[in-house]
Copies of this chain bind each other. A is one copy, B any other.
Amino acid sequence: MKLQAPKGTRDFYPREMAWQNFLFDAWRKVSVRNGFEQVDGPVFESLDLYKVKSGDGIVSELFHFEDRGGRGMAIRPEFTPTLARMVADRAASLPRPIKWFCMPNFCRAERPQRGRLREFWQWNIDMLGLDSPIADAEVIYTAVDFLREVGLTSSHVRIKLSHRQTVQSILGKLGVPLDRMTEAFALLDRRDKIEEDQFAQQAAVLGLDADSAKRFDEVCRMKYRAGGLDKLRESLAIHDTLDDLRQLDEQLHAFGIADWCEYDLGIVRGLAYYTGTVFEIHETTGAMRAIAGGGRYDRLIELFGGPPTPAVGFGMGDVVISLVLFDKGLIPETIMPRPDVFALALTDAAAKQLAALCIDLRRQGLHTRFSYRSTRSLGKLLKEATACNARYAVILDDKIMERQVEVKDLESGEQWAVGIDQLPQAFSGRARDED
């Protein structure tokens, strides 16, 4: 019998788990210092909840089942519908702006591939109830704050930004009628995946003549660093105030992250529900899937029965960011929790006192391990202490009857005698500071 983790899922042994914890701790730390409050919801929701947002087509992408009452349920594939439901349900009582984060696991019935699994974790940052580009900028700032926290710089990654209203205004001037705008966005989104003649053909269907289609194609390719809006406006050769982008641009400067950002009018984020700013975080090499993606979704809370509520947010999965950090050598070497103390006994009488000594240290907050082996060899036992990367060894022999032990600093090799009542202080507070 060979039982394995289901396809597209992962087992987290201590080393893999230590990495997940490192990532989760960084997500949480950055979220909290930027004023976001953590929330979570059920791991499964009613199937209807997902249909409200994404239509019936979503069902084939979900792991779904019936509960005991025959109601359709699905393991959550994303957090936004849960968030929208939770906000709509308490819209009257939640203080504004609502600044929430979460980092749950999600499941999608996808074909597993590099950077895409059936179960993954995702950091979600959402800010609701503030109708201002300050919210867009602060949400993007929070992403940048995390990227910096894990050692990435603006030379590694870039925030690619667009704005639905700006692009819509440009497309309108090129001749796309308002009722075909969604199709135009979809075409923009798949521009790089289709051939030139296919593109021209599909553009024609949207009412774009050859010239306009060429301009449309150029719009897809336009990329300008934040602060370069004048150049963008010129090169568009279409009179447009770019008001929405201008206001966002100001805030990106106010939050000091303009050098991480570039406008890329080809960024659409496939999802129909975005209403303003949209953005993706990509490696500057362009090598990978997006590290994160998000935008403004001002009409979603209404769709879930709540009042009109401006909203902006993003999601960042654990899989792609982990691959990026691994590729760039940014996974720290020592992510496993490090024991403060490893206790060992050199005589049978001393061994009887091991447990009592260890629990005393643990009660004082020290991460304390001891040897379960029957060997009394100092060399073998110290090897065990070193193998688990303990900071100090506490060595017990028959002097334990006089309440005396030896402490060995496993980094410097220094060793000295200590009365067991002085033990925690004997580590000069170092062990605990590192905790």
Closest approach, in angstroms, between the C-beta of A16 and any C-beta of chain B? 8
Instruction: Find out whether the CB atom of B255 lies under 8 angstroms from the CB atom of A355.
Output: yes
Asked if B14 and A38 sit within 8 Å, CB to CB, the answer is yes
Q: Which residue on B lies nearest to A3, using beta carbons?
A: B85
A256 nearest in chain B by CB position? B359
Listed A/B pairs (16) with beta-carbon separation below 8 Å: A1-B304, A3-B49, A3-B88, A3-B89, A6-B45, A6-B67, A9-B42, A12-B38, A17-B39, A35-B367, A35-B370, A43-B43, A63-B73, A64-B65, A130-B372, A145-B359
Whether A34 touches B362, Cβ cut-off 8 Å, given contacts A44-B63, A356-B254, is yes
Q: A37 at the A/B interface (Cβ < 8 Å)? A: yes
Q: How far is the CA of A318 from the CA of B410 in the complex (A)?
A: 38
Contact yes or no, A42 B10, CB < 8 A: yes
In the bound assembly, the distance between CA atoms of A49 and B3 in angstroms comes to: 7
**A375 an interface residue at 8 Å Cβ cutoff?**
no
Q: What residue in chain B is nearest A68 (Cβ atoms)?
A: B109
A35 touches B369 (CB 8 A): yes
For the complex formed, measure the closest distance between the CB of A335 and the CB atoms of chain B, giving whole angstroms.
Answer: 11
What residues of B have a CB within 8 angstroms of the CB of A100 in the complex? 14
Further 7 A-B residue pairs, CB within 8 A, beyond A33-B367, A254-B352: A3-B85, A9-B41, A33-B362, A35-B339, A97-B372, A145-B363, A148-B363
Interface residues on chain A, number (Cβ under 8 Å): 88
A1-29 vs B: 1/0 string, CB under 8 Å?
11111110111111001101100000000
Residues from 73 to 92 in A contacting B, C-beta threshold 8 Å = 73, 75, 82, 85-86, 88-90
Q: Does A107 contact B (CB under 8 A)?
A: yes
The reply on A32 being an interface residue by CB < 8 A is yes
> Would B359 and A42 count as touching, CB distance under 8 A?
no
Is there an interface contact between A39 and B14, defined as CB atoms closer than 8 Å? yes
**B33 close to A89 (CB less than 8 A):** no
**Chain B proximity of A19: nearest CB distance (Å):** 11
Query: A33 to chain B: closest CB distance in Å?
Result: 5
Contacts of A75 in B (CB 8 A): 43-44, 75
A48 sits at the interface (CB 8 A): yes
A319 within 8 A of B: no
Quote the shortest CB–CB distance from A146 to chain B (angstroms).
11
- Whether, in the assembled complex, A297 has its beta carbon less than 8 Å from a beta carbon of chain B, the answer is no
From B2, B7, B67, contact of A109 by CB (8 A): B67
* Residues of the B chain whose Cβ atoms lie less than 8 Å from the Cβ of A255: 355-356, 359
A6 CA / B66 CA spacing, docked (Å): 12
Check B355 against A254 for contact (C-beta < 8 Å).
Answer: yes
Q: Which of A105-131 contact B (CB under 8 A)?
A: 105, 107, 109, 119, 130
Copies of this chain in the oligomer: 2
For the complex, is A309 an interface residue (Cβ under 8 Å from B)? no
Q: Which residue of B lies closest to A34 (CB)?
A: B362
Chain B residue numbers with a CB within 8 Å of A369 are 35
Closest 7 CB pairs of A and B: A9-B42, A14-B37, A65-B65, A35-B369, A12-B40, A254-B355, A1-B305
Q: How far is the CA of A336 from the CA of B36 in the complex (A)?
A: 11
The interface residues of chain B lying within 8 Å CB-to-CB of A41 are 5, 9, 11-12
A109 to B44, CA, bound (A): 12
Closest to A20 in B: B40
Known contacts: A37-B14, A65-B65, A355-B255. The answer to whether A3 contacts B46 by CB under 8 A is yes
- Is A177's CB within 8 Å of the partner chain B? no
- A152: shortest Cβ distance to chain B, in Å? 15
Q: How far is the CB of A212 from chain B (nearest CB, A)?
A: 39
Docked CA distance A138–B343 (Å) = 15
A290 at the interface (CB under 8 A from B): no
The answer to the question of A228 belonging to the interface, with a C-beta cut-off of 8 Å to chain B, is: no
The answer to whether A305 touches B65 (Cβ under 8 A) is: no
Distance of A387 from chain B, by nearest CB (Å):
8
A419 CB within 8 Å of chain B? no
State whether the Cβ of A365 lies closer than 8 Å to any Cβ in chain B.
yes
The listed residue (B17, B20, B32, B48) touching A337 by CB distance below 8 A is B32
Separation of A352 and B254 alpha carbons in the complex (Å): 8
